[in-house]
Structure formats: structure tokens, C-alpha cells
């Protein structure tokens, strides 16, 4: 693929997203499968399958980002942040070109790793996943404010390792006990008594140095490797470490610092999920332990220690985002296993877990990065982490479960995580569990010739139907029997239009026009 091919494909994906979200009423320019823009016509194709949209932009017509920018300027409100949008698109293009150059060498390095170094919750599959596009957001490769040199040194797709920096922080709030590999003051060149040591990502050093409540240590300590999220690193065989990163991904407003309240909130939701698993022991799910953290009421001074269960130590831990990635040994990651059997078992686990949670009034924002397959000698299980984006209907929860001390959602700091509206829960279930975790992989398998769409779709319908019982009539009506399905407006809310005008309390739960229900369509092969 050439640079022009990359730009044409990216431009088509961005226009697809803007049409899907109907940004600034863009759909009004559609006439007879043509998007009649002020400066040029754009051919549209009937989508087959109609995943999220009935039409897609024909990628073969040599579009350029300049066509996208001209379109946006023609329809944008003067208050829209078109400059940030353009930077995001250009960053995504530059990163995609960098990936094209770097991937062969990275794959050669990874191909030399013996199988035992590909297991456990390390970074092997995370690195491979980082070369894939986000299934919905077209500029997912953009990381605002970071240079290409920054990415080469610290981004997961380049499989680097680097030493962490540290800072002594005065009067922080702490939970849990730090792991044994945590440094002492002398390890990082500090005198004792200056405060509690917090990890600092090298890209955040300049900002942390300016914080009045922190003393940056002169010496680095602990060699780490980035995971798919980049701000989280593998620090030990069963430990990851999450730190603030001064960038934004999936939109300018999706900052990758750490808001202090997300740490206790995520820990509370994890405890709640463990209560559910105690009552539902047959569910094939493992949870990461996220009870150890610290923060100083500053988005750039915080950390989370993520501990993985011992069952993951010798298994292949494959994020859903990695299944469709190219493997360094040839083919795709998913082809290490029987594709149809694996997808079937995965869907069964995915829907049994998330439908059960829905009965308890819980919908997780557990997307492809936060759900992994645990593949070893035991039957397939899901590994779930990072629960601070959950949505909980507290009334529904109390009907099924008396919250234990420390796991009461009424104690959540972010009140946006609670609702009394099952429609809101269903939207999270559909846009995350159904769209991103089930249908997007099925669509990708079909695109790569690994599993026909009709087969993948049948598996989705059958496994969802298996999971839905007599008490799940509402969720069935919003999925298998729905006339249309909700979709997120990620580009609109994430970058172009501010919260005051979208009305989005949470930009990650802002929805655009509904799309076709692909679950009902049996016409596409």
C-alpha cells in the first residue's frame, strides 16, 4: 500500500463516520447513492453488510484529506473546532505512514520470540493490535500532541522498552499496597521524607516537574513496555501500571490523563463485579485486580497497579483488538486457533457475561482493548479490566443484589455512572458489546476471508439468543427484534462540537442517528 492509498482509505473512513453521525446535517447532500458536495460528487456504495450504516463511501475514488476538510468547512458551524479536527486527521495519516514503514522490522523481531515469551499478560499481542484501525473511529491512530519521534520511543506498535521516571508526591490519597518491585527513594536518587513515590511516564516529565506538590526524581527506575493503551505499561510478569499521559486519543476531548475519581470508581465497580461472580460462578470470566492506586487530586499525578490472576501466567492473553491483527509468522492472530470454533466460544462467553450483568442493571464499557481471551489448556475465558466507564441502574441492581460494603454504586464519585433508565443501559450494551465486541470482529473476519459474514452473523444471533432468557424481553427488543440500532457520534462529540452544544454529559456515551439492524439482514453473504 502506498502513501496515496493510505490517504484515500483514511479519507473515505472519515467521510463514512461523518455521514454515519450526520455531522452538521451532511446526509442532506445524498442523492441517488451520491454525496453531492459543494466541490465534487462522492460515490456511495450499498453497504453489505449494513454494519452501522446503509451506505459507505467508495474507497476507490482517490479521495484526499483536502476533500474531507473542504466538506467540513462547507457545513460546519463557526463554533466547531475544525482546526483540531484537521490536525487529528493529519496526525492519523502521518502515523499510518509511519506504521507502514515500521511494521516489517517490528514483525521480524516479534517472530523470533519463542512461544513461552508470547504468553501471559505481556505486550506481544498488544503490539500486534496497535497496527489495526479502531473499528469505528476513523482517526484512532492519532495521539494529539505527540511527535513521530515520541511514538517511535514510547508507542506499543514499535515494541519499545524504556525506563520509568518517578516523583515524590506530598500528601497523596492511596489505596492498596504497592508491589515488591516498587522503588524506594534511594533507588531514584531522592532523600527520604519528600513524599510517596509515584511513577511518571517519560512524556509527562515536563508537566510533572512544574507541579508544586511533586519532586521529580533524578534517576529512572524499572524498565517497562507499553501496552495497547500506551499510558499503561507492563511492569512485571503479572503486573501492569497505568499512568497519566499528556495526549488525547479518539478525539481531542478524550484526554489520557487520569481524573482522580476514576480510580476509586473503577475499584468499586470491580468489587461489585466480583459480588456478581460469587452469585454466578459458572460465568467464564476473570477480573484484573485494580484495587491499588494513588492520586494527588491532579490529572497528571496518579497511578493504578493492575494485577492479573495467576490463571493468566501461561495462557495466551489475546485482546479482542488483536484477533484480526497480522501475525509475525504470517496470516492473522486468530488463525493460530480454529477460527469458527474460537469465535463461537468467544461469543458464548461474551453474551452470557454481559446479558447476566444487564439483569443486574450493569452495562460495561468493556471494548476491544479492555476484553481479552484467556487461551490455554482450560476452556476459553474472558479477562476483563478497566471498569471506570460502567453504567449502573441502581434500582435494578438492588432488586437482584444487596451491595456489599465498599461495592455500593451510590458511593460512586462520578454520578454519570448511575442511571434509572434501562434505555441508557441498552445503548451501552448495543454500542459496546454488540457493535464493537461481536459484530466488528465478525465483519473483520469476513473482510479477511477467514469466516463468511453470514456464518459470523448467524453465530452472533444464535449465541445472543441463547443468552437471552424469558426475563430479558426488554434487551431482546433492543437487539434481536429492534428495527434499528443506536450508534455513537464519536467524531462529532470527541472533537468537532463542544459539550455545551451536543449536550453530552459523557462524550463516550453520545449517540448519533440510529443505524440499520444488521442482525435482521440475511441478504449479505
- State the pLDDT at residue 505: 78
> Which tens digits make up the pLDDT trace of 213-244?
999 999 999 999 999 999 999 999 999 999 99
Range of weakest confidence among 103-107, 270-274, 405-409? 405-409
* Among 459, 267, 283, 262, residue whose Cα is nearest residue 360: 283
Q: How far apart are the first and last CA of the chain?
A: 27
> Can you tell me which residue has the cell 502521518?
94
Radius of gyration of the chain (CA): 23
- State the pLDDT at residue 478: 98
Q: What residue ranges do the domains of the chain occupy?
A: 157-245
* Among 321, 315, 306, residue whose Cα is nearest residue 125: 321
DSSP codes, 464-476:
HHHH--GGGHHHH
Q: How large is the average pLDDT for residues 399-423?
A: 93
Evaluate if residue 2 carries a pLDDT over 80: no
Range of weakest confidence among 35-39, 143-147, 163-167? 35-39
> Which tens digits make up the pLDDT trace of 159-190?
999 999 999 999 999 999 999 999 999 999 99
Residues 203 and 209: beta-carbon distance below 8 Å: no
- State the pLDDT at residue 331: 97
> Which tens digits make up the pLDDT trace of 329-385?
999 999 999 999 999 999 999 999 999 999 999 999 999 999 999 999 999 999 999
Say how far apart CA 510 and CA 487 lie, in whole Å. Answer: 9
Evaluate if residue 1 carries a pLDDT over 70: no
Say how far apart CA 303 and CA 234 lie, in whole Å. Answer: 13
DSSP codes, 335-404:
GGS-HHHHHHHHHHHHHHHHHHHHHTTEE----TTTEEEEESSSPPEEEE---TT-EEEHHHHHHH--PP
Average pLDDT over the chain reads 96
Say how far apart CA 385 and CA 363 lie, in whole Å. Answer: 14
Evaluate if residue 49 carries a pLDDT over 80: yes
- State the pLDDT at residue 271: 97
Residues 188 and 221: beta-carbon distance below 8 Å: yes
* Among 71, 88, 66, 64, residue whose Cα is nearest residue 137: 88
Confidence of residue 3 (pLDDT cuts 50, 70, 90): low
Percentage of the chain beyond pLDDT 90 is 93
Say how far apart CA 407 and CA 274 lie, in whole Å. Answer: 9
Percentage of the chain beyond pLDDT 70 is 99
Amino acid at each position: 500500500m502506498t502513501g496515496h492509498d493510505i490517504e484515500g482509505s483514511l479519507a473515505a473512513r472519515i467521510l463514512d463516520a461523518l455521514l454515519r453521525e450526520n455531522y452538521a446535517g451532511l446526509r442532506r447532500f445524498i442523492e441517488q447513492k451520491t454525496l453531492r458536495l459543494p466541490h465534487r460528487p462522492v460515490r456511495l456504495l450499498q453497504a453489505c453488510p449494513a454494519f452501522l450504516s446503509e451506505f459507505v463511501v467508495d474507497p476507490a475514488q482517490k479521495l484526499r484529506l483536502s476533500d474531507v476538510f473542504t466538506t467540513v468547512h462547507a457545513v460546519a458551524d463557526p463554533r466547531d473546532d475544525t482546526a483540531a479536527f484537521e490536525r487529528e486527521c493529519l496526525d492519523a495519516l502521518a502515523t499510518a505512514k509511519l506504521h507502514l514503514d515500521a511494521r516489517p522490522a517490528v514483525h521480524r523481531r516479534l517472530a523470533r520470540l519463542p512461544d513461552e515469551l508470547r504468553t501471559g499478560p505481556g505486550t506481544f499481542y498488544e503490539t500486534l493490535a496497535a497496527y489495526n484501525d479502531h473499528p469505528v473511529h476513523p482517526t484512532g491512530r492519532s495521539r494529539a500532541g505527540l511527535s513521530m519521534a515520541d511514538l517511535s520511543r514510547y508507542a506499543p506498535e514499535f515494541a519499545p522498552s524504556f525506563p520509568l521516571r518517578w516523583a515524590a508526591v506530598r500528601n497523596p490519597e492511596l489505596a492498596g499496597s504497592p508491589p515488591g518491585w516498587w522503588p524506594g527513594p534511594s533507588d531514584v536518587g531522592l532523600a527520604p521524607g519528600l513524599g510517596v513515590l509515584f511513577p511518571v511516564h517519560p512524556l509527562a516529565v515536563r508537566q510533572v516537574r512544574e507541579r508544586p506538590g511533586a519532586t521529580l526524581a533524578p534517576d529512572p527506575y524499572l524498565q517497562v513496555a507499553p501496552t495497547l493503551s500506551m499510558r499503561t505499561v507492563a511492569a512485571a510478569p503479572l503486573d501492569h501500571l497505568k499512568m497519566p499521559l499528556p495526549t488525547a486519543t479518539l478525539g481531542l476531548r478524550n484526554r489520557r490523563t487520569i481524573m482522580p475519581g476514576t480510580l476509586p470508581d473503577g475499584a468499586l465497580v470491580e468489587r461489585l463485579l466480583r459480588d456478581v461472580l460469587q452469585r454466578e460462578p459458572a460465568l467464564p470470566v476473570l477480573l484484573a485486580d485494580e484495587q491499588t492506586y494513588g492520586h494527588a487530586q491532579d490529572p497528571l499525578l496518579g497511578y493504578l497497579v493492575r494485577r492479573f490472576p495467576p490463571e493468566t501466567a501461561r495462557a495466551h492473553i489475546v485482546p479482542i483488538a488483536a484477533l484480526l491483527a497480522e501475525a509475525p509468522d504470517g496470516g492473522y492472530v486468530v488463525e493460530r486457533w480454529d477460527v469458527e470454533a474460537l469465535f463461537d466460544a468467544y461469543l458464548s462467553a461474551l453474551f452470557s457475561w454481559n446479558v447476566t450483568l444487564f439483569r443486574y442493571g450493569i452495562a460495561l464499557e468493556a471494548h476491544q482493548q479492555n476484553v481479552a481471551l484467556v487461551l490455554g489448556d482450560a476452556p476459553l475465558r474472558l479477562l476483563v479490566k478497566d471498569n471506570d466507564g460502567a453504567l449502573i441502574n441502581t434500582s435494578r441492581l438492588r432488586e437482584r443484589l444487596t451491595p456489599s460494603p465498599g461495592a455500593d454504586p451510590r458511593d460512586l464519585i462520578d454520578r454519570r455512572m448511575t442511571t434509572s433508565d434501562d434505555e441508557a443501559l441498552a445503548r451501552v450494551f448495543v454500542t459496546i458489546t454488540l457493535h464493537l465486541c461481536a459484530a466488528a470482529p465478525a465483519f473483520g473476519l469476513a473482510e479477511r476471508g477467514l469466516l463468511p459474514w453470514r456464518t459470523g452473523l448467524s453465530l452472533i444471533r444464535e449465541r445472543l439468543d441463547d443468552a437471552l432468557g424469558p426475563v430479558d424481553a426488554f434487551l431482546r427488543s433492543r437487539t434481536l427484534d429492534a428495527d434499528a440500532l443506536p450508534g455513537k457520534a464519536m467524531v462529532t462529540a470527541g472533537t468537532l462540537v463542544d459539550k455545551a452544544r451536543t449536550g453530552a454529559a459523557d462524550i463516550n456515551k453520545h449517540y448519533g442517528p440510529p443505524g440499520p439492524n444488521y442482525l435482521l439482514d440475511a441478504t449479505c453473504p
